[in-house]
Amino acid sequence: MKRCFLLFIMMMAIFVGNRANAQNPLQKNAVNFKVLFLDYTGPISGDYGDFKSYTSGVEMGYTRNLYSFLNVNVPLRFAIANFNDPLKNDVTGDLGVLFQAQLWERGKLFVPYVTAGANGVYEFKGEQFGLQIPAGLGVDVQVGTSAFLNAQVEYRLGLADNRNNVHIGLGLKYLIGKKTDEKKVLLKPVDFDKDGVPDDIDDCPQVPGLPEFNGCPDTDGDMIPDNIDLCPDIAGSATGNGCPDSDNDGVIDPEDECPNLPGTAENNGCPNFDKDNDGTPDNRDLCPNEPGPKSTNGCPDKDGDGVSDKEDRCPELAGSKENEGCPDTDNDGVHDGIDRCPGTPGDPANDGCPYVKAEVKEILDFARKAVQFEVGSATLQSQSYVVLDQIVQILKDNPTYGIQISGHTDATGDANANVDLSAKRAKTCYDYLIRKGTNPNRLDFVGYGEARPIANNNTAAGRSLNRRVEFEVKFK
């Protein structure tokens, strides 16, 4: 009997297997047929490997799907049971309810599950009824559109003595009833711009357009949709990516520097006019009337530093673009074009000059008042020598210092005569410093006459202050 039933199962599997596909109709109901193998001896003796103690049976059952992951199974079983005594083999019949919790999503080709429930068992020979609590594992393997091979193992706890047992079932599960698909809610396609083209296929979902352009508009009507039209407001051609070429020179108007004059692509659409013959076309020549190199866009560059003369703060001296065309002779970070002391390293915050020491400023300020001359002449009074000697010492102590000597008078007398007198007084100081060993290259003198007063010439005190010689530190 056992062999016949196995043969039947194999033939059914081959039959439905030839018609199998990857679908699993979501039918709620199923029937199943199994061959059973029972072992009551193993749970008692502990020898589960003694397969000679196994007996056989059959099962017919009904299964109902409750949720996507949960089935309920109602099996009816008839079997031969050996209660640890070959002379007491009995025929049993049982009916139960088992729940099957699927471990994988329903509808797969291979669906394992765990099962548990309760069975009522009647022993025909002993004429007694008992309860058993089964728990186990099973698997459904799809072999056809609605057919599955089923294997299940249970350990059943008997509430009566010596009634614990193992059930192994192999068979076929078949879905029955109407085949239904899971309900799907069809949503109306979203069309934000209401142009009749759903957003998921609309290339311009925020702007109403035309179906033939995947929902994009064509504002200029040149049959090139705005989303790929480089000139969406002006009709053009496909070869120009939607832009016109007014002079038909092969350069579209937005890229043509001379859109109404045929030119060449190399010259950005302009003809090759070059009035100064410097090799830079006029449309790109920033100085079209003066020849210059291409490196400065056609403008002259006398010092050849790559900065055109009109942008070069030092057009006669080669410099760098970072320094506006000027060098930085003293390397103090302030270029010669704005460095008040280009030959002496200084502080950028002081326009490239070093700061003059406070004590030096104090002595020079005192010298303005202390250096005195005979009235109406350029002859030094003797008390002036002391302060002039201090200036000599300043120059010795500070090799980078130079001195600018400037003479000034009050407004009394002839203006030209005053300029001459102020210059002579400045030169007298100049000559004294040189006689004391100062290098003439570190000194300059000038006379301003009455042109730079520092006080009111209408008072005696003011005129006294205006008659002076000033000493100011200068740097190269």
Whether residues 387 and 346 fall in one domain: no
Per DSSP, helices labelled H in 18-107 are 41-45
CA 454 to chain centre: 64
Token pair belonging to 189: 């396609």
Whether residues 33 and 130 fall in one domain: yes
Question: How many independent structural domains does the chain possess?
Answer: 3
Q: What is the CA radius of gyration of the chain?
A: 57
Mean pLDDT of 47-67: 87
What is the C-alpha to C-alpha distance for residues 323 and 210, in angstroms, rounded to an integer? 57
What is the C-alpha to C-alpha distance for residues 426 and 418, in angstroms, rounded to an integer? 12
Q: What residues are paired with 168 via a beta bridge? A: 37, 153
451, 409 Cβ separation under 8 angstroms: no
Q: What residues are paired with 353 via a beta bridge? A: 347
Whether residues 348 and 464 fall in one domain: no
- Residue 344 domain-assigned (yes or no): yes
**Residue 474: which H helix or E strand, with range?**
strand 468-474
pLDDT of residue 180: 60
| Phi, psi dihedrals of residue 113, rounded to the nearest 5° | -155, 165
CATH of the domain at 85: 2.40.160.20
pLDDT tops 80 at residue 433: yes
- Tens of pLDDT, residue by residue over 304-344, are 999 999 999 999 999 999 999 999 999 999 999 999 999 99
Whether residues 326 and 427 fall in one domain: no
Count of Cβ atoms closer than 10 Å to residue 297 Cβ: 13
Residue 333, helix vs strand vs coil: coil
CA nearest to 143, candidates 168, 174, 114 = 174
* Alpha-carbon dihedral angle through residues 449, 453, 456, 458, given to the nearest 10 degrees: 10
Question: Among 47-61, 157-171, 344-358, which is the least confidently predicted range?
Answer: 47-61
Mean pLDDT of 260-269: 86
Tell which of 143, 176, 209 closes a domain.
Answer: 176
What is the C-alpha to C-alpha distance for residues 402 and 435, in angstroms, rounded to an integer? 16
Tell which of 352, 368, 393 closes a domain.
Answer: 352
Q: Which residue has the tokens 């056992």?
A: 2
Q: Which is more confidently placed, 127 or 433?
A: 433
Token pair belonging to 107: 């509808």
Whether residues 324 and 367 fall in one domain: no
The whole domain housing 316 covers: 303-352
- Residue 337 domain-assigned (yes or no): yes
Tell which of 132, 150, 176 closes a domain.
Answer: 176
Whether residues 33 and 110 fall in one domain: yes
The DSSP code sequence of 161-229 is TT--EEEEEEEEEEEES---PPP-PPPPPP-TT-SSS-GGG-SSTTS--BGGGTTB--TT-SSS-GGG-
Whether residues 457 and 321 fall in one domain: no
Q: What mean pLDDT value characterizes the chain?
A: 88
- Residue 242: which pLDDT band, with cuts at 50, 70 and 90? very high
pTM of the entire structure? Answer: 0.42
- Residue 473: which pLDDT band, with cuts at 50, 70 and 90? very high
Q: Which is more confidently placed, 108 or 137?
A: 137
- Residue 436: which pLDDT band, with cuts at 50, 70 and 90? very high
pLDDT tops 80 at residue 80: yes
pLDDT of residue 228: 92
pLDDT of residue 186: 58
Q: Which residue has the tokens 């142009």?
A: 195
CA 220 to chain centre: 36
306: Cβ–Cβ under 8 A, 6 or more apart, which residues? 295, 296, 321
Half-sphere exposure at residue 468, Cβ-oriented, CA atoms within 13 angstroms:
21
- Residue 183: which pLDDT band, with cuts at 50, 70 and 90? low
pLDDT of residue 103: 83
DSSP letter at 438 equals -
CATH of the domain at 388: 3.30.1330.60
Whether residues 108 and 151 fall in one domain: yes
236, 242 Cβ separation under 8 angstroms: yes
What is the C-alpha to C-alpha distance for residues 259 and 252, in angstroms, rounded to an integer? 8
pLDDT of residue 18: 40
What is the C-alpha to C-alpha distance for residues 29 and 64, in angstroms, rounded to an integer? 5
Give the Å distances, CA to CA, from 177 to 100, 393, 470.
20, 121, 120
